[in-house]
Amino acid sequence: MTDYTVHELDVPATMDDDPEKVRAFLDWLRVSDAAEVDVHHLPELSWKPEEYLPMCHEPEAPSRLFVVRTDDGSVVAAGSYDTKQAPGTPNCWLAMGVRPDHQRRGVGTLLADHLEGVARADGRTQWKTYAVSRQVGPASGPGYLPAPTGFGAVPEDEAGVRFLTGRGWRFGQVNRISRLALPADPAVVRELHDRAEAAARPGYRVHSWTGRTPDEWLDGLALLETRMSTDAPEGDMEEPEDVWTADRLREHEEELARAPRTMLTVAVEHVESATLTGFTQLAVPNDPARAVMQWDTLVLREHRGHRLGWLLKVVGIERVEQDFPGRPSIITFNAEENRPMLDVNEAVGFVGVGSEGIWERRV
C-alpha cells in the first residue's frame, strides 16, 4: 500500500538557484498543470517554469508551495497557499491539483486538510479557491450547479465540484475562459475601435507602454490596482480592499520583469482631471508560439458608460498584433456577470473555451 506525505517546498529564488530546489519546483508545476489540463483540455493555459516562478515572489504576498509525495519520492499532487503578510489580513487563496493517475485515493483530502490547516494557523477567516471546469459558456438545468450571481454554472458531476461541496465550500461565481485566435479580423477591430473612440471623445484618451510604468502614471496605476479589489465583480464574496502603493507596484514590476515575457499596459486617461480611469494588461511571452494572457482589466465605476472597456480591449489587440506579431491567441478570464466585457469579447471574436468556478469558505 502506497504511503503519501505532504511536504512544503523551499521555493527557489530564480531558475539558477540550487538544483534540488529547482527540480522540486519543476515537479510541482508539472503536476499542477497536468491536473488542470486533465479537466479543461487547454494546454495553452500551461505555464513555463520561468514564467510562473516570479509570481511566487509577489511583494507582500509570496506563495507557499506544497507537494504530496509517495514513499518512492514521486510527486502526485501540488498545492499552494497565498495571502498578504500584513497583520490582520483575513483572506487567503488555496489551490490544489492531483495527478490524474492518483485521484480517488485520498491524496486530495490529505493535501486539502494540510492547506486548510495552514490557513487556520495563520488566522485567515475567508478562504477562496479557483476550480477549472470543462464547461464552456453559461449553462443551466439538471446536472448543473448554478452560481448564486445568477450567471453561469458548473457541472455537478465534476470531481472538483463534488470535492469542494463535500468539504463545506460554497460555490460563488463563474469566470468564463475565452480565446481570441490571432490575427483578429482587422475590419472588425477597426470598426470597434472607431465606435469606442467616438464614444470616449473628447473626455478620454488612450496611453500604452511596455515594461515599467512611466513615472507620471505610477500613482494612477497603483490606484487602479487597488480598485481591482473593490470594483471588479465578486458576487457576494467581497474581499477587503487590497491597497497598492507606487513602491509596491515598482517591486511587482521588477519581479515580473524576470520572466521571459513583456507586460503590455493600455490605460485610459480622463483628460480634465489628468488621471487614469481604466487599464488592461497583457502578458506577452517572448516565445511567439505561446498565447498572450490578458490579465487585470478595469474601468473605474464612476467612469463607466463611455465604452472605455471596449477601447482598452481593441487597442490591446492592435498593440499585440503590431508589436508582437505571430502570437497564436489571446486568452482572457471574465466573470459571467460582466456582460459589458463579454459583449466586447464576443464582438471582436473571442470564443468561450472553458470556465473557472470560484469557491469560498468562511471560518
The stretches in the chain having pLDDT less than 70 are 1, 137-138
| Domain identity same for 90 and 214 | no
Do the domain assignments include residue 153?
A: no
Do the domain assignments include residue 28?
A: yes
**Grid cell locating 183:** 490575427
Separation CA 64–CA 332 (nearest Å): 25
Do the domain assignments include residue 170?
A: no
How far CA 81 is from CA of 4, 42, 163, 257, in Å, comes to: 20, 24, 18, 23
- Whether omega before 202 lies within 30 degrees of 0, making that bond cis, reads yes
| Domain identity same for 317 and 190 | yes
Question: What per-residue confidence (pLDDT) applies to 119?
Answer: 98
Do the domain assignments include residue 334?
A: no
Quote the distance between the C-alpha of residue 122 and its chain's center: 23
Do the domain assignments include residue 155?
A: no
Q: Which of 79, 95, 124 is the last residue of a domain?
A: 124
| Domain identity same for 106 and 191 | no
268 lies in which domain range?
Answer: 183-327
Backbone angles phi, psi at 70, to 5 degrees: -85, 175
CATH number of residue 230's parent domain: 3.40.630.30
Tell me the pLDDT tens digit for each residue of 156-205. 999 999 999 999 999 999 999 999 999 999 999 999 999 999 999 999 99
Separation CA 159–CA 173 (nearest Å): 18
- Whether omega before 183 lies within 30 degrees of 0, making that bond cis, reads yes
Pair type for strands 91-98 and 126-133: parallel
| Domain identity same for 204 and 276 | yes
Do the domain assignments include residue 238?
A: yes
| Domain identity same for 322 and 193 | yes
Q: Which of 124, 139, 164 is the last residue of a domain?
A: 124
| Domain identity same for 100 and 33 | yes
Question: What per-residue confidence (pLDDT) applies to 137?
Answer: 67
Pair type for strands 4-8 and 204-210: unpaired
Question: What per-residue confidence (pLDDT) applies to 89?
Answer: 94
Question: What per-residue confidence (pLDDT) applies to 150?
Answer: 93
Question: What per-residue confidence (pLDDT) applies to 2?
Answer: 80
Question: What per-residue confidence (pLDDT) applies to 234?
Answer: 86
**Grid cell locating 136:** 464552456
Do the domain assignments include residue 248?
A: yes
| Domain identity same for 322 and 188 | yes
- 3-state DSSP call for residue 187? helix
| Domain identity same for 198 and 78 | no
Pair type for strands 261-270 and 4-8: unpaired
Q: Return the residue matching grid coordinates 466573470.
A: 335
Question: What per-residue confidence (pLDDT) applies to 272?
Answer: 96
Number of structural domains (the chain) is 2
Q: Which of 108, 124, 140 is the last residue of a domain?
A: 124
| Domain identity same for 12 and 104 | yes
| Domain identity same for 40 and 115 | yes
| Domain identity same for 322 and 204 | yes
| Alpha helix ranges (H) inside the chain | 19-40, 49-52, 107-121, 159-166, 186-200, 218-231, 246-256, 308-323, 339-348
Do the domain assignments include residue 362?
A: no
| Domain identity same for 323 and 188 | yes
